Amino acid sequence: MGAAEVFGSAPWVQERIHTGLELAGSCIALGVAGLLLIRVRYERGTAHLLWVVATLVAMGVMDGVHGLLPFGLAWSWLRHLSTLLGGLLFALAWVPLRDPRARRQPRWIALAIGTASLAVSLLVWWRQAWLPTPWTGDGYSHTTAGVNALGGLGFDTGGVYFVRRYLRGGHRDDSALAIHAALFGTSGLVFGLSHVWEPTWWALHACRLLAYVVLLAPTYRMASESFQRLGESNDELERRVAERTRALEASERRVRAITSNAPLLIAYCDPHLTYEFANEAYLDWYGLAPDEMVGRRLPDVLGDVYAQRRTYLERAVGGERVRYQGPMRHRRLGKRFTDTTYIPDRDEQGRVRGIYAFIVDVTEVKEAELAVAVAREELRRHADGLERAVSERTATLRATVEELEGFSYSIAHDMRAPLRAMQGYAQLLEEEQALDERGRQFVTRIQKAAERMDQLIRDVLDYSRVLRSDLPLSAVDAEALLRQVVESYPHLHRPDVTIEVRGPLPRVRANPAALTQVFSNLLGNAVKFVASGVAPHVVVRGERAGDRARIWVQDNGIGMEPEAAVEIFTMFRRLHPSGTYEGTGMGLAIVRKAVERMGGRVGVESAPGAGSRFWIELEAARS
């Protein structure tokens, strides 16, 4: 075979250098592939690099095997196939890839390609006898040159993708890959023109090594950036962990302070009712140290009480929030009344992994509640008693008042009978012929005194009647009533008396009997209190203001001081010494009481010597 001559002329030094060159390239390729793989795995939007990784792995493996093999057919073909396979894989950069779904996915791809490359390499080595001779006497055969050129074209095709990518994005990584592709592409295209061991051949090898080296820079940068980021994020993480730890410590301190000082018993048990935690109050209740409590079972600590609580605890362990009240024994204070809450603690799957127990000593509250209830009951009883006593006393008082009123009424009434008898006998005596002038005078005096007494009693009875009797109100024609009063009372139509009614008087709501009494008294006063020798002249007028009606009784009498006008309506208030004007001092008191009981008011305007103007005001009757 013709190749033997060429083989024979190959110096062994050159072969060693070549091996070193190829192994260096292979190592760089595999190393860079590994780093890129990490990048693809952890950085988004780097899926396209997977083709570069595939290229580097395939070429790295095949170039490595190529470098290790002794000079021969397999040695040569591995080199050309490596270029071809690498170029084809690199051209696939145009095929868009999605980001790998699983992080391990890129590794498997790389491993598969590596394995496949290794298999191809070993197959080539094992069956090298089947391979055609890559050389002619004048250098590489056309087939060989074509294979290399095809690979180079593949690299250039991929290179265009990265140029475009660089022009769009401006990433230096893309420019490095474009240069890498250009170097590979160029060396592939022109490789067929070179001759083994000749300077151009070496130059093209150097070109390929350079292509690998070009990738080192961005990969290094990427790695250093990654480590920097890693460091920074590590610092940040550490800082946050420290922060979180501090916060947690503070929180734990707070929680501990709360649980330690809370005036309630807190404990935590696992589902088998073994204590995992108990706060100070809880420990104190049973008089146990923390290490005595934790790890012990609740039934052992509770003793007899456990039997009462068992169902509640079982419900809590079953996942129910339980609350109940009941007695509990304190080691020092004895029997206490407590309010207990069990809250199940669930894990992420919702299984009960423990229960919290919160126990509040409500003995004082209960006692206070009881005391309040007792006090309230007592108060109620007391109030009831008081009310009863008041109503009893009121009833008694009312009865007494009624009795007294009745009593005074009947006294006044009964006083009239002997009085009438006195008057009667005095009159009979007056008619006796045997009586002399002096005796007759005495009889007259007896009669006068008796008459006054009788008037007084009648007035008292009138007052009492006005005070006691029901006074149902109705619409009353005041004018008609007044004229009737004037008609029926002899002292009001004496010849010297003028009573002028300047009608019409308003209709009022009143009790006719009471109003008769009022008119009679007012007119009686008007004609009585005049200076001697003056003929009484009384003017009665009416006026209406809204729903009130006023009736004025004006006289030409002696009048009075304005100050007296206030007192004049009081009982037994007389302005003149007895004897000057006859009277009992009850007339105006009766007027006031009667008018007031009919819901009205009375008043007077007067001055000494200028007469008086009395008025009564009542509700006007609706017409």
Partner 1 sequence: MSAPAVLLVEDDENDAFFFEHAFRAAAVSARLVVARNGDEAIRTLEREAEPPCLVVLDINLPVKNGLEVLRWIREQARFDTLPVVMFTSSAADRDQREAFHLRANSFVLKPGNLKELTRVVARLLDYWLAVHHPPCAEEEPAPA
The distance of closest approach from Cβ of residue 423 to partner 1 in the complex, given in angstroms and rounded to an integer, is 5
Report residue 296 as tokens: 């012990």
State CA 402 to chain mean position distance: 63
Quote the CA–CA distance of 305 and 564 in Å, as a whole number. Answer: 90
Distances 46 to 116, 162, 469 between C-alpha atoms, Å:
24, 13, 115
- Least Cβ distance, residue 417 to partner 1 (angstroms): 6
Residue whose CB is less far from partner 1, 423 or 516: 423
Closest residue by Cα to residue 323 from 301, 303, 339, 345:
339
- Measured CA to CA, the distance from residue 543 to residue 553 in angstroms comes to 12
Nearest to partner 1 of 339, 430 (CB atom): 430
Asked whether 486 and 499 are in contact (CB, 8 A), the reply is: yes
Question: Could you tell me the smallest distance in angstroms from the CB atom of residue 421 to partner 1?
Answer: 3
Q: Pick the closer one to partner 1 by CB: 454 or 619.
A: 454
User: Which is closer to partner 1, CB of 199 or CB of 472?
Assistant: 472
**CB closer to partner 1, 467 vs 534:** 467
Q: Which of 522, 528, 543 is nearest to 594 (CA)?
A: 522
Least Å distance, CB 536 to partner 1, is 25
DSSP helix/strand/coil, 225: helix
CB 81 within 8 A of CB 62: yes
User: Phi, psi (5° rounding) for residue 170?
Assistant: 75, 15
- Give the DSSP H/E element, type plus range, for residue 429: helix 363-431
The nearer residue to partner 1, 77 or 463, going by C-beta atoms, is 463
Angle of helix 12-42 relative to helix 105-126, nearest 10 degrees, comes to: 160
Which segments within 254-333 are labelled E, that is strand?
265-269, 275-278, 322-330
**DSSP conformation class of 616:** E
Tally DSSP H helices, then E strands, for the chain.
18, 14
How far apart are CB 580 and partner 1 at their closest, in Å? 24
Min dist. Cβ of residue 420 to partner 1 (A): 6
Count of positions (residues) in the chain: 623
* Residue 32: DSSP 8-state: H
Q: How far is CA 519 from the centre of its chain?
A: 72
Q: Which residues contact 218 (CB under 8 A, 6 or more apart)?
A: 172, 173, 176, 177
Nearer to partner 1, 458 or 528 (CB): 458
Q: How far is CA 401 from each of CA 388, 412, 461, rounded to the nearest angstrom?
A: 19, 16, 16
We find the least distance from the C-beta atom of residue 414 to partner 1, in angstroms, to be: 9
Pick from 127, 152, 125, 7: which is nearest to 66 by CA? 125
For residue 465, the minimal CB distance to partner 1 (Å) is 8
- In a 10 Å sphere around its CB, with 0-12 CB exposed, 13-18 middle and 19+ buried, how is residue 344 labelled? buried
- Pick 352 or 513: Cβ nearer partner 1: 513
How far apart are alpha carbons 82 and 58 in whole angstroms? 7
Least Cβ distance, residue 413 to partner 1 (angstroms):
7
Residue 451 — φ and ψ, nearest 5°? Answer: -60, -45
320: helix, strand or coil? coil
Q: What is the DSSP string of 41-64?
A: HHSTT-TTHHHHHHHHHHHHHHHH
Residue among 245 and 427 whose Cβ is closer to partner 1: 427
* Nearer residue to partner 1 within complex by CB, 427 or 444: 427
Rounded to a whole number of angstroms, the minimum distance from the CB of residue 560 to partner 1 is: 31
Q: Which is nearer to partner 1, 20 or 418 (CB)?
A: 418
Q: With respect to partner 1, which residue has the nearer C-beta, 393 or 413?
A: 413
CB of 24 or CB of 422, closer to partner 1: 422
Give the 3-state secondary structure of 204-256: HHHHHHHHHHHHHHHHHHHHHHHHHHHHHHHHHHHHHHHHHHHHHHHHHHHHH
CB of 458 to partner 1, least distance (A): 8
Interaction site with partner 1 (CB under 8 A): 413, 416-418, 420-421, 423-425, 427-428, 454, 469
Q: Is the C-alpha dihedral spanning 223, 225, 227, 229 positive or negative?
A: negative
Instruction: Report CA torsion sign: 365, 366, 367, 371.
Output: positive
Q: How near is the Cβ of 461 to partner 1 at its closest, in Å?
A: 9
What's the closest the beta carbon of residue 428 comes to partner 1, in angstroms?
7
Shorter beta-carbon distance to partner 1: residue 349 or 433: 433
At its nearest, how many Å lie between partner 1 and the CB of residue 402? 15
